[in-house]
Amino acid sequence: MRNGDDLRIVWVGPLQGEQSLLHGTAPHPATMRWQRTYIGGLRDAGVRTHWIGHDPHRTWPWGPLYAAGGQAAIDVDASVVPYVNAPLVRTRSLSLGYERRVVDAVRSIDAKCLVTYNVGPWIATAAAAVSRHGVPWIPIVLDFDDPARDGWESFRAATTGAAGVAFVSHWAFEHAPSPRRFLLPPAIVPRRPAAVMPAAAQRTILYAGARSRAGGVDRLIAAMPLLRTPGVRLVMTGQGKGYDRDIARMTAESDRVEDLGMVPQGELERLALSADVLVNPRPVRTDDSRMNFPSKVLDYLSYGRPIVSTRAPGLGPAFDDLLVFSEGDEPRQLAEAIDGVLGWSPAERTLFAERCQDFAERSSLIAASKEFADWLRMVVAA
């Protein structure tokens, strides 16, 4: 059977509505976009999916003591796990909440497998519970500490009991000690083609992502005064504005950097479509760089704008012709790569946009979701 009726999934992952994304203490816009993309694709492929998640917050007192979450405003079948957000009881509260909700959902829709966004203590509790009902667990590993630290021992422990493991990082897929593994194909949500922009007095670089050193924001800001191209400004949007004091200070001291914080999706699209360069400055040697795929890259590719990126290990060879890679992740190297793109001719920008559009058409959401669903069927049947 391939009509989807044979595959019913309970999906576990962070679950946030629009208001929480804009005003919450720990918003995860990239996480939500990525999950909604794949769950929507599975739904369009005829696979019934029930999404269970909690609204992530910074631990009390920086976040609420009790996180009820409420029903997130999403267009899929979903339910939110409430939890006590105090330091000593948070994990226990989440574990109990997930165990009850996941088991009930598995029974309710007669789920054939449990798919989870990453691994963790409350996910392990839910996975163990459904395994007692004969339902296999398949985690999608999107973030994990560098396995070189302990020779993959932490990874093996975290995925104990998994029937298979899916990865977004090309490096992780190639090297992980998982006998049944799968590399998730890129899925890009198409947007209207980006027109070639005429040269302007002020050029714009857009960074959309977490305001952290792990995202390379400090290096990107430090690259701004090193640019040779005149009239360039950096616009930043995403979570964590003001959390890192040094990054906040660097931003305040620069007249070429504007931090908008979280913005609605429509505003993000407007900013991206009007930018000269989109940038992914993620350092290549952070603790999870090998196990992570910089999800912002897939979102960037949908806009058809030039993209400057560091060569993170998670990016496979399929992206070699789609990104402009800096020589390294230091400010000088980022500045050189950005300057190079800002010097492109209209013809070069048009050629890049055409390559992005062709890749997006080949990386359709429905094709990626069908491929993932077929692999899940194989795992379930094994």
What is the per-residue pLDDT across 183-241, written as a single tens digit (0 to 9) for each? Answer: 999 888 767 654 545 445 579 999 998 888 888 999 999 999 999 999 999 999 988 88
pLDDT for position 372: 94
pLDDT for position 126: 94
Domains of the chain from N-terminus onward = 8-187+364-381 (3.40.50.2000), 203-361 (3.40.50.2000)
Closest CA to 359 of 237, 135, 210, 189: 189
CB count in 10 Å sphere of residue 246: 11
What's the pLDDT tens digit per position in 130-179?
Answer: 999 899 999 999 989 999 889 999 999 999 999 999 999 999 999 999 98
Give me the residue label for tokens 């070069």: 348
pLDDT for position 71: 52
pLDDT for position 27: 61
Q: What is the mean pLDDT of residues 56-61?
A: 91
What's the pLDDT tens digit per position in 231-286?
Answer: 999 999 988 888 888 999 999 999 999 999 988 888 999 999 999 999 999 998 87
The answer for residues whose C-beta is within 8 angstroms of residue 186's C-beta and 6 or more apart is 298, 318, 363, 368
More confident residue, 327 or 30: 327
The pTM assigned to this predicted structure is 0.85
- Residue 75 pLDDT grade (very low, low, confident, very high; cuts 50, 70, 90): low
pLDDT for position 335: 98
